[in-house]
Amino acid sequence: MTEPPPCVEIDARGEAAGTIIWLHGLGASGHDFEPIVPLLQLPQARFVFPHAPTRGVTINGGLLMPAWYDIATMGTPRGGEDADDVRESAALIAALIAREAGRGIPASRVVLAGFSQGAAMALFAGHRHPEALRGIMVLSGYEVLPHTREAEGQAANRDTPLLACHGTHDPMVPVARAREAYQAYAHPGRPAEWHEFPIGHEVSPPEIAVIRDWLAGRFAAGEERPASS
C-alpha cells in the first residue's frame, strides 16, 4: 500500500467539517500556500499541504527539485509529462484521501486543490478517484495525459463541483491551454466555474476572494455529497 507523503497541516478549530488537500507547484513545497489559510476564513476545515517527491526535472536541466512528475518537453500535443510519475503521484494523493477517511473525513468531505503542476494533479487524480469528492480546484493549471481522460474517468466525480482560475498573462501555462482543460470537464449539469484574472503565474487577492467564497459554499452547513454517484 502506498504511504502518504509528508505534509504541512493546519487543523480545524474543533471537529473538522472537511479537508482541503492542496498540492503545490513545481519546485515549491507544502509550505507554499500555508500563509493563505487565514485569508480563506474557513476555521471548520483541515488544510493538508503535501510535499511532492524530489526528482530530476528534464526541462530544468535535470535539476533535482520537488515535483509531482518530470516534464521532458513543453507544448507537445500530448504534453511532456512522465506518465509513470503522474500515476505515482496520483497514488500518493489517493493515500492522503484514504488517511483522511481514517481520521473521520470521508472523500465526500474532501476538496482536492492545486496550483500549476499541483493543479494538473488535482484534476487528474480527482477525475479518476472512485469515491465522490466535495470539490476540485484548479489554479493556474492544465490537463495531463488527456488521451486517458475518457477511459479512466470515474462516474463518482463526473459531477463534482469544479473551480478553475487562471491569469491571462501567465507566461508558464498559456490561458488557452487552461481554458481547454476546463472546457473538457465543464459539461452541462456540472457545477463549474471559470475565472480569469489580469495576472501572471501567481495567485492574486481578487482570486483569493473567489477561492474563499467557493470553498465556503462547499462547506456550507448541511451540504453533503453522496459517497458515490
Examine residue 2 and state whether it is found in any structural domain, yes or no. no
Of 120, 103, 132, 89, the residue nearest 184 (C-alpha): 120
Kindly state whether residue 229 falls inside one of the protein's structural domains.
Answer: no
Catalytically annotated residues: 116, 170, 201
Is 1 part of a structural domain of the chain? no
Contact yes or no for 103/15 (Cβ under 8 A): no
Domain range for residue 200? 7-218
Specify if 228 maps to a domain.
Answer: no
Domain count, the chain: 1
User: Span 15-19, mean pLDDT?
Assistant: 96
- Do the domain assignments include residue 47? yes
In the block, residue with C-alpha cell 490537463: 143
Lowest mean pLDDT across 9-13, 36-40, 189-193, 221-225: 221-225
Q: Is residue 28 part of a domain?
A: yes
| 120 in any annotated domain | yes
Task: Kindly state whether residue 200 falls inside one of the protein's structural domains.
Answer: yes
Contact (CB, 8 A) for 165 and 135: no
H/E element holding 31?
A: none
Residues 138-180: pLDDT tens digits?
999 999 999 999 999 999 999 999 999 999 999 999 999 999 9
Is the confidence at residue 227, as pLDDT, over 60? no
What CATH number has the domain bearing residue 127?
Answer: 3.40.50.1820
Q: What is the biggest distance separating any 2 CA atoms in the chain, rounded to whole angstroms?
A: 50
